[in-house]
Amino acid sequence: MDVVTLLHLVVSNTLTYATPLIFTALAGTFSERSGVVNIGLEGIMVMGAFSSAVFNILMYPTLGTSTPWIGMLFGGLVGILFAVIHALATINFRADHIISGTVLNLAAPGLAVFLTRMIFNKGETGPIARTFGTGNIPLLHKIPFIGPILFSSILLPAYVGIALALISWFVLFKTRFGLRLRSVGEHPKAAESVGINVYFYKYSGVLISGFLGGMGGAVVAQAIQGNFGSATIAGQGFMAMAAMIFGKWNPVGAMWAALFFGFSQSLSAMSSVIPALQAIPPVFLQILPYILTIIILVGFIGKSESPHALGETYIKSE
Amino acid sequence: MKNWKSLMLLGTSALVLVACGNKDANKDAGKDNTGEGDFKITMITDTGGVDDRSFNQSSWEGVQEWVKENNLPQSSGTYIQSDAADQYIPNIQQAVNDGYDIIYAIGFLLAEPLEEVAKQHPDQHFGIVDGFVDLPNVISLGFKDHESSFLAGVAAAYTTETNHVGFIGGEKGFIIDRFETGYKAGVEWAAKKLGKEIKIDSEYAESFKDAAKGKQIAASQFSSGADVVFHASGAVGDGVFNEAKDRMQADSSKKIWVIGVDRDQEAEGEYEGGNLTLTSALKQVGQAIKLTSNDVMKGEFKGGQVVYGLKDDGVGLSRGHLSDEAWKAVEEAKKLIVDGEIEVPEFTYSQN
């Protein structure tokens, strides 16, 4: 295998694992920056995966090749609906964030599998009609050497995720909306004292989180798993939260963390291709992602500090 | 204090009442439908559930077919789903209490729980699929997966154009070892016949669920030149099929194939422009359950171990999209195995 093919394989395998994590880690960032802990990302992903898989199967005859993209948006919308529960519970009813999030995580798989049974009369949807597949990024794939490695026959939602990470960074750190959203997560009393509508920004954070998390689930169902069943989402939501913390609640940092997880995870799948890896017992490759994470967390990242008022219930002053 | 006590008493008695009520209701319902003395069987799934597109589902299909073939009411064949490993023993126990003529436990994960319950009920008939329990009241239904995998290997060898094939296993262990060993032996046998050398990549996902891992491993194997991949990895295979689909949708000039496992996975291989499921290594769990149930009904239940192989069609290979030449070779290999001329090795690493 030549170098270009090998590097392309490394990149595409990394993105296979990282793409859903990028979307969902961004989801977590928005929610937590507004001060609401969103441990329910896993449940939101389940709903996104379920709804997009159903959408894909039912709508493919009318929508054709664009089905997975519209399905991804649909998964995002269902994610928003599901996140409304979390927003209501934590913001209006002052429920504990962890408990509300856990409720989402417990309710989603049961609800989704129940609905799947109602629709398809079995516990999983069966193969979806059209997966994302791979494609070339226009123009960029023509760059010599880099193009064939990074931008051709690649999972396209991955680049949507990376673009979203950059946009999210801009929104959070360079716009008025972002500044206010962050201020609500740091010190809601101070924010309110200068006339910022705290509830509005908290709702924005949680609902954007629902949208991105739902899309993350939709990517799993439509790009990797190819169906929806009870095992489709198994821990990705929690991995995404880890990526968010690893990335210091910064969208671009979270993206890099997700890519790093994807890269270290993909190494153990490539021992048949990279001869040097064959000398290493597979067990070591399988624990490698966790060891690398610990080393980097301890050695290089430094203190990862959460938003100051994270998880606190804010009660509007009269 | 007194109030509390009476409240608690009331609560517990209500619970007991509800529990009893349920049981009675079930029993009555059973009687209404089946009548006195009618024959009924049940099965207990492992955590995969009856829709796992693998042996739980095949077992359940077998139970349903058996009910239909014997013109019994639907309530004569039921299943109990296990959502977690700690439910195995209670579920088996519940089936014993409900009084079935034979109770099947599906999958080797249930072997130990079944042994525990079966010891306490020596008069109850049990069956275990894909596992072994050494008790006179338990029949262990085994399958020679290595024989069907051998045929899958022959099919792969006759189909590959790059002389490079792949194997993707789930969790490493003696169950999947059979698949890998048989497959490799099949590829080698056919390669010798064809007079060429065929490279075999073999990799384990160390999971039966992680589809992303399956996709990554499949990507590695396809990229390095393999054009036929056999997976014995449960839902990890979903990722394998997806990777192959992505590749075929992007560039259909390089034909690649996936060989399915346990059930006919034809539906999983469908993509725009064709189907990439070459064939599937079949395991007729349902057939085994039907045969055993018939024996029990005739009063000829015998404990011990029955192993189904190619000889009695307990395992096999689907015709799928195999070329005539490949199918002929598969048929020939099958005949040689059935006649005992080829002895397929069973284990490589797990047992000596």
Shortest CA distance from B50: residue in chain A: A123
Closest CA to A35 of A156, A182, A250, A154: A182
Within a domain: A119 = yes
User: Which among B49, B166, B211 has the least Cβ separation from residue A123?
Assistant: B49
* 3-state SS class at B202: strand
Q: Report which secondary-structure segment, H or E, holds B317.
A: strand B315-317
Asked if the Cβ–Cβ distance from B223 to A230 is below 8 Å, we say: no
Task: Using pLDDT thresholds of 50, 70 and 90, give the confidence band for residue B180.
Answer: very high
CA dist B311 → B29, B190, B340 (Å): 41, 20, 10
Asked if the Cβ–Cβ distance from B242 to A226 is below 8 Å, we say: yes
The packing angle between helices A176-186 and A198-219, to 10°, is 100
Query: How, if at all, do strands B277-283 and B257-262 pair?
Result: parallel
Q: How far apart are CA B96 and CA B79, in angstroms?
A: 13
> What is the pLDDT averaged over residues A302-318?
82
What pLDDT score was predicted for residue A267?
85
Is the pLDDT confidence value at B352 over 80? no
Edge-to-edge, what's the strand order for the sheet holding B304-308?
A: B77-80, B41-44, B102-106, B125-129, B138-143, B304-308
Q: How far apart are CA A60 and CA A58, in angstroms?
A: 6
User: Which among A153, A224, A271 has the least Cβ separation from residue B211?
Assistant: A224
Q: Enumerate the residues of chain B whose CB falls inside 8 A of the CB of residue A135.
A: 250
Is the pLDDT confidence value at A304 over 80? no
What pLDDT score was predicted for residue B52?
77
Q: How many CB atoms lie within 10 A of CB A269?
A: 28
Q: Enumerate the residues of chain A whose CB falls inside 8 A of the CB of residue B235.
A: 225, 229, 231
User: Which among B223, B238, B250 has the least Cβ separation from residue A226?
Assistant: B238
> What is the pLDDT averaged over residues B78-90?
90
Is the pLDDT confidence value at A109 over 70? yes
Interface test with B, best of A14, A225, A233, A263 (most B CBs within 10 A): A225
> What is the pLDDT averaged over residues B282-311?
91
Assess B167–A contact: CB distance below 8 Å, yes or no: no
DSSP A15: H
Asked if the Cβ–Cβ distance from A226 to B221 is below 8 Å, we say: no
How many domains does the structure of chain A reveal?
A: 1
CA distance A128 to chain B (A): 9
Q: Counting Cβ atoms within 10 Å, is residue B3 exposed (0-12), middle (13-18) or buried (19+)?
A: exposed
Asked if the Cβ–Cβ distance from B241 to A5 is below 8 Å, we say: no
Q: Which of A138-142, A274-278, B216-220, B340-344 is the least confident region?
A: A274-278
Q: Enumerate the residues of chain B whose CB falls inside 8 A of the CB of residue A229.
A: 51, 235
Shortest CA distance from A116: residue in chain B: B51
Asked if the Cβ–Cβ distance from B216 to A265 is below 8 Å, we say: yes
- A172 neighbors A251 (Cβ within 8 angstroms): yes
β partners of residue B103: B42, B126
What pLDDT score was predicted for residue B4?
55
Q: Enumerate the residues of chain A whose CB falls inside 8 A of the CB of residue B270.
A: 127
Task: Using pLDDT thresholds of 50, 70 and 90, give the confidence band for residue B172.
Answer: confident
Within a domain: A98 = yes
Asked if the Cβ–Cβ distance from B211 to A16 is below 8 Å, we say: no
pLDDT in tens, A47-86: 999 999 999 999 999 998 899 999 999 999 999 999 999 9
Asked if the Cβ–Cβ distance from A127 to B268 is below 8 Å, we say: yes
Average of per-residue pLDDT values in chain B: 87
* 3-state SS class at B136: coil
CA A270 from centroid of its chain's CA atoms: 24
Compute the half-sphere exposure of residue A274: CA atoms within 13 Å on the CB side of its CA.
19
Task: Using pLDDT thresholds of 50, 70 and 90, give the confidence band for residue B7.
Answer: low
Asked if the Cβ–Cβ distance from A133 to B221 is below 8 Å, we say: no
Q: Which of residues 294-313 of B touch A (CB under 8 A)?
A: none
What pLDDT score was predicted for residue A303?
74
Which residue has tokens 């954007």? Answer: A208
Is the pLDDT confidence value at A280 over 90? no
CA distance B166 to chain A (A): 10
Domain boundaries for CATH 3.40.50.2300 within chain B = 38-143, 145-281+317-338
Shortest CA distance from B249: residue in chain A: A133
Burial A73-92 (b: 16+ CB within 10 A, else e): ebbbbbbbebbebbbebbbe
pTM more than 0.95: no
Selected residue with higher pLDDT from B17 and B233: B233
**Which structural domain, as residue segments, surrounds residue A102?**
3-301
What pLDDT score was predicted for residue A313?
86
Q: Enumerate the residues of chain A whose CB falls inside 8 A of the CB of residue B268.
A: 127, 226
> What is the pLDDT averaged over residues B44-65?
86
pLDDT in tens, A167-197: 999 999 999 999 999 999 999 999 999 999 9
Q: What is the DSSP string of A32-94?
A: HHTT---TTHHHHHHHHHHHHHHHHHHHHHHHGGGHHHHHHHHHHHHHHHHHHHHHIIIIIS-
Q: Enumerate the residues of chain B whose CB falls inside 8 A of the CB of residue A126.
A: 267
What pLDDT score was predicted for residue B5?
55
Selected residue with higher pLDDT from B91 and B8: B91
Phi and psi at B39, nearest 5°, equal -90, 135
> What is the pLDDT averaged over residues B241-250?
92
Shortest CA distance from A126: residue in chain B: B268
Is the pLDDT confidence value at A87 over 90? yes
Assess B242–A contact: CB distance below 8 Å, yes or no: yes
Selected residue with higher pLDDT from B13 and B217: B217
Q: Which of residues 248-287 of B touch A (CB under 8 A)?
A: 249-251, 267-268, 270, 272
User: Which among A1, A225, A282 has the least Cβ separation from residue B224?
Assistant: A1
- The two three-digit tokens of residue B164, written as one number: 């490079």
> What is the pLDDT averaged over residues B92-107?
94
CA distance A122 to chain B (A): 6
User: Which among B205, B209, B216 has the least Cβ separation from residue A231?
Assistant: B209
* 3-state SS class at A257: helix
Q: Which of A107-111, A141-145, B34-38, B209-213 is the least confident region?
A: B34-38
User: Which among B220, B242, B250 has the least Cβ separation from residue A272?
Assistant: B220
CA distance B48 to chain A (A): 9
pLDDT in tens, B126-146: 999 988 999 999 999 999 999
B38-143 belongs to which CATH class?
Answer: alpha beta
User: Which among B211, B219, B242 has the least Cβ separation from residue A9?
Assistant: B219
CATH number at residue A91: 1.10.3470
Within a domain: A47 = yes
Is the pLDDT confidence value at B27 over 70? no
- A270 neighbors A149 (Cβ within 8 angstroms): no
User: Which among A9, A13, A231 has the least Cβ separation from residue B235?
Assistant: A231
Task: Give me the torsion for CA of B82, B86, B92, B94, rounded to 10°.
Answer: -90
Closest CA to A113 of A52, A47, A60: A47
Is the pLDDT confidence value at B206 over 60? yes
Domain B145-281+317-338 has CATH 3.10.180.10: no
Percent of chain A with pLDDT over 90: 69
Q: Enumerate the residues of chain B whose CB falls inside 8 A of the CB of residue A271.
A: 203
Burial A169-190 (b: 16+ CB within 10 A, else e): bebbeeeeebebbbbbbeebee
Assess A124–B contact: CB distance below 8 Å, yes or no: yes
Within a domain: A306 = no
Interface test with A, best of B51, B53, B199, B268 (most A CBs within 10 A): B51
CA B205 from centroid of its chain's CA atoms: 18
Shortest CA distance from A235: residue in chain B: B210
Q: Which of A90-104, A247-261, A294-308, B151-165 is the least confident region?
A: A294-308
Asked if the Cβ–Cβ distance from A130 to B272 is below 8 Å, we say: yes
